[in-house]
Structure 1
Amino acid sequence: MTVTGEDSVIDTDPLEPPLSAPLRRDLGWAQVQQMSQSANYRDEPMLRQIRATAAVRRGTRMTKILSPAQVSGHLGGWLPYGFCYRACDLAHLTDPRDLALLGTDGVTDSEVAYALRWRAVDPLDYEVPGGPAQPGLALIQSHQRIGAMILGTGFTPSTDELIPEYITAGFADLPIPANSQIIAHVPGGEEVILYTYQPEQNGWLRLAGPRWRGLLDHLPGVSPDREYVPCTTTGSAKLVGQIKGKEYEAVADPPEEFRVRALTRAARYPVSTLSRRAEQALWRGIPCWVLQRDEAWARLRLVRPDNDSLSATGARCYERGVYESWAPVGELLDHHIADIPYAL
């Protein structure tokens, strides 16, 4: 965290502005940290002002801490979704046991912390897991939660850290950008890049050499010797763009490159418009993302989970803040394809 004052000069990466606080004699760092851990300060203007300095910009590196099972899921085609952090806010955490505590599925017993790291396509894809975007999230009853409690202050639970947390907007799946990485944090603080995402081939290229091959042994269903792992499931969201009024599936490589998805480099033309496309519907009056469906059933994820929506849908918690359910397709209302446009 950066302490700001009248004479301070901050030289930082413009894509990753630091969390900063205007500390005073009567407002020290310890007090700010304590405020961040109390539900009584969810609407405290000073705390919200501090939280707002941790901005996400186009190209900001985002990180989601993963368990081995989640790594296997992402290698198979899962997209970024749910709780995540700016990579710069975790840069000082080098012990994998500390990072594992930031996981989302309750698995914290690994000596190696895995993570998915990608660059943000646009700030509108992220929101604070509290009011006003998610007013009921922190009030969900404890027996219906997985992972660390949600404070609603915008900061992760911690006895001594001040770490701003995010969710993908409405817990949506986000199309995965080119050159995203799956990494491992090992004892001693070293960071190892295991795989990098290649969108045109729709799969993950293994970068871990023989020294680190053992890190892949703990990934269920993943062969350590496989050099390329294709995604076997189709994501629920994708990017689309236009060139001269004609629409194409697009690929993002933030902060500056947005192009047509094509196997040959010569055909990867830049798009003039860009949108995130996904399915939405109402079920029993509750807004949901439609993640999968066939002729009879649809797998749904709640956009704004709270106690009332859980009661209405019977949705189950699959990881921290993420609630999903199956519903008959015939019961869905306002079922449509939504386009969320980005400003290029």
Structure 2
Amino acid sequence: MTVTGEDSDLGSDPLDPPLMAPLRRDISWQQVQSMSQSVGYRDDPVLRGIRATAAIRRGTRMTKVLSPAQVAGHLGGWLPYGFCYRSCDIAHLREPEQLGLLRTDGATDGQVTFALRWRATDPLDYEVPAAPAHPGLAALPGHSRIGAMVLGTGFTPSTDDLIPEYVTAGFADLPLSANAQILAYVPGGDEVVLYTYQPEQNGWLRLAGPRWRGLLGEIPGGSPDREYVPCTASGSARLVGRIDGSEYEAVADPPGEFRVRALTRAARYPVQTLSRRAEQARWRGAACWVLQRDETWARLRLLRPDADTINSTGARCYERGIYESWAPVDELADHHIAEIAYPI
């Protein structure tokens, strides 16, 4: 994170543009940080201008802080979803207890903190958890949420830092980009890469060396002896691409490579179009993602959770901002495959 004057010209990684604040005599660092934590400044033009500098580009590194149980889920096939951060905005947080405050499931135990890191396929996949995209999040009462409250300013609750937060668009599952990583942060500030994602094989390759393999025992069901962990659950979203009118399952390797998913390297042709597909429906008036379904029941996740839709659907909070419910399939309306096209 970078704080600078209005006229400063910084060189930076174009994929990770810095968060910038126009500090002046009448706007100090303490004032900016205080504004980010106050609901009274949700619509303040100065704070919104600061928040807008924390942009996501194609290829921006994103991070979601995980508990051990969530790591086990992602090793089994979960996709990125919900609250996340640009990696550059939390790079100064290295100790497990610092990063642990950004967990989304309310877990605070353990001396090791885990994280999932991937590259953004497109800025379309991310939203600020505030109005206009999510006006109802900040108004949710404490008894119906897990984790830290949502301030509605676009910044995470913090007494010291200025950390912009994002959510996946509509709290959607996002297909993993190639070479995503599962990380561990240990006391002393070391970052350890435990696994890297292999999209063609749909599994995780262990990278942790002998010194760090004991960390894998912190993960439920984890084993330090397994060099490869296949994803056993099928994700609710997938990438598809076209080449000369023919459709193929696709892999994103941002910022510049989008290819056919194929085990043979010679068959990994670049696609001409790219889009994300997932099931959507409406139930009791609420727009939902369809995560799983059989002939009779469907597991749903609210796209725009607020007090009214949570009450009408009886949705339960599983993580910060994640509200899910089960519904009879024959009660679903406007059940369809949503397709989000990416410009390439």
The two structures have a TM-score, normalised by structure 2, of 0.99
Q: Per the alignment, in what secondary structure is the counterpart of residue 282 of structure 1?
A: strand
Distance 1:191 1:223 in 2: 20
The alpha-carbon deviation at position 4 of structure 1 amounts to 3.4
Counterpart in the other structure of 1:225: 225
- 252-261 or 3-12: which moved more? 3-12
Counterpart in the other structure of 2:261: 261
Counterpart in the other structure of 2:105: 105
Q: Per the alignment, in what secondary structure is the counterpart of residue 287 of structure 2?
A: strand
Q: Per the alignment, in what secondary structure is the counterpart of residue 3 of structure 1?
A: coil
Counterpart in the other structure of 2:177: 177
Q: Is the 8 A contact 2:61 2:86 kept in 1?
A: yes
Counterpart in the other structure of 2:95: 95
Kindly provide the amino acid, as one letter, of the partner of residue 187 in structure 1: P
Q: Is the 8 A contact 2:281 2:334 kept in 1?
A: yes
The alpha-carbon deviation at position 7 of structure 1 amounts to 4.5
Q: Is the 8 A contact 1:68 1:220 kept in 2?
A: yes
1:28 equivalent in alignment to 2:28: yes
Q: Is the 8 A contact 2:6 2:23 kept in 1?
A: no
The alpha-carbon deviation at position 136 of structure 1 amounts to 0.3
Q: Is the 8 A contact 1:111 1:187 kept in 2?
A: yes
Q: Which runs of 5+ in 1 are unaligned?
A: none
Counterpart in the other structure of 1:289: 289
1:131 equivalent in alignment to 2:134: no
Distance 2:252 2:168 in 1: 17
The alpha-carbon deviation at position 152 of structure 1 amounts to 0.6
Distance 1:194 1:128 in 2: 29
Counterpart in the other structure of 1:197: 197
How do residues 1-344 of structure 1 correspond to structure 2 at under 5 angstroms? 1-5=1-5, 7-344=7-344
Distance 1:248 1:137 in 2: 37
Distance 2:205 2:171 in 1: 27
Percent identity between the two aligned chains:
77
Distance 2:261 2:53 in 1: 34
The alpha-carbon deviation at position 5 of structure 1 amounts to 3.2
Distance 2:218 2:71 in 1: 10
The alpha-carbon deviation at position 2 of structure 1 amounts to 2.7
> What do residues 167-187 of structure 1 show as CA deviations (whole Å, max 9, x unaligned)?
000000000011000000111
Q: Per the alignment, in what secondary structure is the counterpart of residue 212 of structure 2?
A: helix
Kindly provide the amino acid, as one letter, of the partner of residue 333 in structure 1: A
Q: Is the 8 A contact 1:282 1:333 kept in 2?
A: yes
Q: Which runs of 5+ in 2 are unaligned?
A: none
**How many corresponding residue pairs?**
344
Q: Is the 8 A contact 1:104 1:146 kept in 2?
A: yes
Q: Is the 8 A contact 1:100 1:110 kept in 2?
A: no
The two structures have a TM-score, normalised by structure 1, of 0.99
> What do residues 106-136 of structure 1 show as CA deviations (whole Å, max 9, x unaligned)?
1112211100000000001000001000000
